[in-house]
Structure 1
Amino acid sequence: MFAEKSTDVVAVTGESFDREVLHADGPVLVDFWAPWCTTCRAMAPMIAELAAEHAGRLTVAAIDAAAHPEPAHDYGVVSIPSILLFSGGTVQKRIVGVHTKASLLRELSDFLAAHASSTENLSNRPELEA
């Protein structure tokens, strides 16, 4: 789903989840999706944009929860789309359901600010005005 749209989104499997997410050097956003989920498909371009915009500060990963159900089960994902934000191998925040880019950025702002390598203030970004 993401591979053809963005090289910034890491395609994660059940086998690579520990390495790519739990043992990542920095914060990780994991998008749990499924091919049959229309809202997941609608959010995919936005997730790819976030990956490109935050490259180097945030790893953005996507996992097909239908093909690789183990991580979804392990982390209590019962509804998709679901986004889990990880830091240090633990879930820091859950974002469930469809979101606009502006609402997702509002949800992400505290998490990103806590892990920002720069002094950029995400709350003053023009795209949050939408």
Structure 2
Amino acid sequence: MNKPSFGDLIKGETPVLVDFYADWCGPCKQQAPILKQLTDRVGDKVRVVKINVDKAQKAADQYQIRSIPTMILFKDGKIVWRQSGVQPLHTLEGLVKQFGS
């Protein structure tokens, strides 16, 4: 079975929060448990996808990722929000409420 393409991942009505990160990045490690809390709280209202910039350089280049962590929220395949740096849970929850289906 083929892995879905990045374009396939971000399509659809359910918002997709993409976390561009790297294993060696300290702030990225801080973000990980916040994302876990987010999925525990909002369930299937958002899909969280983690993209390792060292392994997916094409995607990182395509979205001009210059600092990590960078989060991009897609809705219907379009960017509706983008921010670099560690994002607090309340910010991410607010985005899910704003853009959730």
Q: Secondary structure of 1:55's partner?
A: helix
- What is the Cα deviation at residue 108 of structure 1? 5.0
What are structure 2's unaligned runs of at least 5 residues?
Answer: none
After TM superposition, what 4+ stretches of structure 1 lie above 6 angstroms from structure 2?
none
Which of 72, 85, 88 matches 1:84?
72
Q: TM-score if structure 1 supplies the norm length?
A: 0.67
Partner of 1:97 in structure 2?
85
Residue equivalent to 2:34:
46
For residue 24 of structure 1, report the CA deviation from its aligned partner: 3.4
2:54 matched to which residue of 1?
A: 66
> Relative contact order (alpha carbons < 8 A, sep ≥ 6): 1 or 2 greater?
2
Contact 2:21 2:70 in 1 (8 A): yes
| Contact 2:15/2:100 (8 A) holds in 1 | no
Provide closer, same or farther for how the CA distance between residues 26 and 64 of structure 1 changes in structure 2, counting only shifts above 3 A.
same
> Offset at 1:48?
1.4
Query: What is the TM-score with the length of structure 2 in the denominator?
Result: 0.84
1:115 equivalent in structure 2:
99
Counterpart code for 1:106: T
Q: Report how many residues are paired.
A: 99
CA positional deviation for 1:106: 2.7
Q: Could you say which structure has the larger radius of gyration?
A: 1
* Paired residues of 1:32 and 1:63 also in contact (CA < 8 A): yes
State the partner residue of 1:10: none
More divergent stretch after superposition (32-41 vs 45-54): 45-54
Q: Which runs of 5+ in 1 are unaligned?
A: 1-12, 118-130
Partner of 2:6: 17
Aligned-pair RMSD on alpha carbons? Answer: 2.0
**Does the 8 Å CA contact 1:95/1:107 hold for their aligned counterparts?**
no
Q: Which amino acid aligns with 2:74?
A: F
Which whole-Å CA distance do the structure 1 matches of 2:92 and 2:36 have between them?
17
- Contact kept, 8 Å, 1:57 with 1:115, in 2: the verdict is no
